[in-house]
Amino acid sequence: MTEQRIKYLCRVVDRRAGHDQPPLLAVSIHHGVVRRDTLTDDLPRAEDLSNYKLCEPGDIVLNRMRAFQGAIGISPQRGLVSPDYLVLRPEPNVDAGYLHHLFRSSWFVGEMVSRLRGIGNTESGAVRTPRINPEDLGDISAELPDLDEQRRIADFLDSEIARIDRLIQWRAHQHDSLEELTLRIIDDAIEGFQEPPMVRLGYVAHIQSGVTVDGNRQQASDAITLPYLRVANVQAGYVELSNVAEITVPRRTAAASRLKAGDVLMTEGGDLDKLGRGTVWYGEIENCLHQNHIFAVRTSKDLLTPEYLAILTRASIARQHFESTGVKTTNLASTSSSKIRDFRIPLPGMSEQRAAVKEVDSKLTAVSQFECQIARQLKLLAERRQALITAAVTRQIDVTNARSFPSFGGASA
């Protein structure tokens, strides 16, 4: 076994397309090298693809900006890739599958991260345009077993990773199905209330707008710095408080956008199927403001409970309203205060509202516990997948005698 630099294990291929126009490919963190049209319907940024790079079957393609996150793959076909990608062709004594697994190992990722060129650092998430340059990649040294051993390692990892990936896919499918279960639970709880007449939300609630963030705004003499919620803080059913920002505004602005306990927070934009979903603010942070992309819906206390409104925003009737009235762009959608006011809701008596909320909360608690369990299992499976790759390419395990990697929680593919 010899230690060699990567530049001696593969060569950089930089052939441009010109008039040659095979399919456009992309590198996905989760799927490797695939046809771009299987990932998105968006048109490529460049209309002229003549400057794009050509790759051949068996070439290793790296997204230089995201290689350290796993955006590396073996091309299954001839195609075009971004001019900023790296196309590497393994030397005759190097197995492409082995090299691909080596590049994705924790050890190698650490070597790449230490060589990234960019502004900031990856740990703080503040890197702007981080890239691994071909010269820096080629300077990394790695031990190279003989070709037969490389193939044994690659075959072993291909088999075991496929098995782990099937488990991950199965758990991910279970996780996704919980969304449908949540919707059914809420719809069942309010089914008996959806008889006409329905009431416009604007008749039983006031909508408060938030603070417009303006970094160029001159600070007033009476400015005050307070915490404020951004769109990322407002999730379906809860408020994420681990990363609450602060903003400095005039006291008059602060007074007009201060949240009150019992406000239902609804976001202005996002994915179309999540548009308009809300959650209750219970005053977790004193004197907290909210961004202008969040609406604070303040209900009439004797007619509409905040908790009941919050579950209504996650029901099918809300999905239908906001999907039909939202303004759609390519990837996102948005709503407005007027469309929130026009949201027609079933309005039973207060006791019936509280009973519906109690029923939903009880069932969603069980769903949430199962969701947390699946999330932990997905995290552990991903960690085991990475650990297996690293152990195999660094020869911490002998793949000749190795048995299948231990299954997770008794599950099998």
Where residue 65 sits, what CATH number does that domain have? Answer: 3.90.220.20
Q: Are 281 and 266 members of one domain?
A: yes
Which of 296, 318, 345 is the C-terminal boundary of a domain?
345
- Nearest 5 degrees, angle CA 14-CA 20-CA 23? 90
In this prediction, residue 398 has a pLDDT band, given cuts at 50, 70 and 90, of confident
pLDDT of residue 269: 78
pLDDT of residue 30: 83
Mean pLDDT of the chain: 87
Q: Examine the pLDDT at 253 and tell me if it is beyond 90.
A: no
Q: Are 237 and 183 members of one domain?
A: no
Q: Examine the pLDDT at 101 and tell me if it is beyond 50.
A: yes
> Between 166 and 2, whose confidence is greater?
166
In this prediction, residue 413 has a pLDDT band, given cuts at 50, 70 and 90, of very low
pLDDT of residue 219: 63
DSSP count for the chain of H helices, then E strands? 10, 26
Q: Examine the pLDDT at 61 and tell me if it is beyond 90.
A: yes
Could you give the CA distance from residue 42 to residue 254 in angstroms, rounded to a whole number? 41
Range of the domain at 169: 147-195+349-413
Q: Are 255 and 152 members of one domain?
A: no
In this prediction, residue 410 has a pLDDT band, given cuts at 50, 70 and 90, of very low
In this prediction, residue 125 has a pLDDT band, given cuts at 50, 70 and 90, of very low
Give me 79's structure tokens.
């195609």
pLDDT of residue 159: 93
Average the pLDDT over 145-167 and give the result: 93
The burial of 137, by beta-carbon neighbours within 10 Å (0-12 exposed, 13-18 middle, 19 or more buried), is given as: buried
Q: Are 70 and 135 members of one domain?
A: yes
Q: Examine the pLDDT at 112 and tell me if it is beyond 80.
A: yes
Looking up tokens 């939300």 gives 201
Q: Which amino acid type is present at position 283?
A: G
Q: Are 52 and 191 members of one domain?
A: no
pLDDT of residue 404: 53
Looking up tokens 């040659």 gives 20
Q: Are 15 and 123 members of one domain?
A: yes
Query: DSSP letters of 184-234?
Result: HHHHHHHGGG--SPPEEHHHHEEEE--BPP-TTPPPPTTEEEEEEE-GGGE
pTM (two decimals)? 0.68
Q: Which has the minimum average pLDDT: 1-15, 52-66, 323-337?
A: 323-337
Number of domains in the chain: 3
Q: Examine the pLDDT at 400 and tell me if it is beyond 80.
A: no
Q: Examine the pLDDT at 343 and tell me if it is beyond 70.
A: yes
Q: Are 250 and 116 members of one domain?
A: no
Could you give the CA distance from residue 398 to residue 390 in angstroms, rounded to a whole number? 12
Q: Examine the pLDDT at 68 and tell me if it is beyond 60.
A: yes
Q: Examine the pLDDT at 178 and tell me if it is beyond 70.
A: yes
Q: Are 70 and 186 members of one domain?
A: no
Give the CA distances from residue 10 to residues 25, 86, 96, 116, 215, in Å, rounded to whole numbers and listed in that order.
Answer: 21, 11, 9, 20, 48
pLDDT of residue 40: 78
Q: Are 184 and 211 members of one domain?
A: no
* C-beta of residue 281 within 8 angstroms of C-beta of residue 296: yes
Q: Examine the pLDDT at 341 and tell me if it is beyond 80.
A: yes
Q: Are 18 and 153 members of one domain?
A: no
Which of 144, 163, 181 is the C-terminal boundary of a domain?
144
Which of 298, 321, 345 is the C-terminal boundary of a domain?
345
- Give tens-digit pLDDT for 1-56: 678 999 999 999 999 998 888 999 999 888 889 998 888 777 676 678 899 999 99
Q: Are 206 and 240 members of one domain?
A: yes
Q: Are 380 and 244 members of one domain?
A: no
